[in-house]
Chains A and B, each alone.
Chain A
Amino acid sequence: MRNKKQFNNTDEVTDINISPLIDMVFILLIFFIVTTVFVEEEGMATNTPDPSPNLDKPDEEKERLSLLIKNNGEVFARFGANETNIGIGGVRAVVQQEMQQEVYPILINVEKESLIDTYVRVHDTAILAGAEGVTMKVVQE
């Protein structure tokens, strides 16, 4: 009883009680702190050929360079019917040589069980060697 009286006495000061506001702001703050995720992603665009079979025919007729990643991680360079095993280390030289004559996007054929790590390395090297773009295409063994 006495306590209540005292409380009323102090209330006579004409201040707006801002403690609910502060409580609310704190709750909002905690909500946003908890839900914030700092997404910092770096990466590169990847593409697969559009499903129309007419598009990749002209490339083969022109005997353009394409690469092939085997299931076991071996990398082959393919000119028309010619296939040579160049390995990841050989990609840069082959692509660079080809790009000196004409710059065009490179098709990387991948076998289903090859690893994304190998593909990323070949893609990266091809771009560094001056290729205009890279397309990933899945081929059967």
Chain B
Amino acid sequence: MGKNKKALSATDDVEDINISPLIDMVFILLIFFIVTTVFVEEPGVDIIKPMAFNAADLPKNCILIGVTESDNVFYGGEEVGLSGIRLKVRRMIRENSNYPVIIQADVGATNGTIARLIDECKLAEVPAGQIHLSLEKLNN
């Protein structure tokens, strides 16, 4: 205890370090992260994306749905299945009507599942042309 006290009083005598540049930097970092943050729920599954030349950049604010190799449908880190996805997507679309749906499908997923998933999204009132397949872009 005695030692601690001594140390404290010793530091009190020393002039303060100027911390305003530190604070400035922290503010800049804070603003950067506030601006870049998007609250997107990731499917949370490992996926090997199909590759294509015609891949356009997609918006950052979106609804991400994952489809694994064994055709399991994931949303927000949990398996919801084909039957549960409509409710989730509809809820998101009600809140943010301009959000597109991005399907992250594994190369091994079957077309039957993807087509049904697209149909479910359409039933969840996602506008036409707002459903995308996530791809790995190839450069020619």
A residues contacting B by CB (< 8 A) are 2-3, 6, 10, 18, 22, 25-26, 28-29, 32-33, 35-48, 50-51, 69, 110-121, 123-124, 127-128, 136-138
Contacts and interface: CB of A to CB of B under 8 A. Distances in A.
Contact of B62 (A25, A41, A123): A41
Taking chain B's interface residues, is the majority helix, strand, or loop, or is none over half, making it mixed? mixed
Contacts of A35: 37, 39
A118 to B, nearest CB: 8
A120 B131 CA distance: 14
Interface of B: 5, 8-9, 12, 19, 23, 26-27, 29-30, 33-34, 36-40, 42, 50-58, 60, 62, 64, 67, 102-112, 114-116, 118-119, 122, 128-137
Nearest to A71: B110
Nearest to A117: B107
A-B pairs, 5 with minimum CB distance: A112-B112, A32-B33, A120-B50, A110-B111, A124-B52
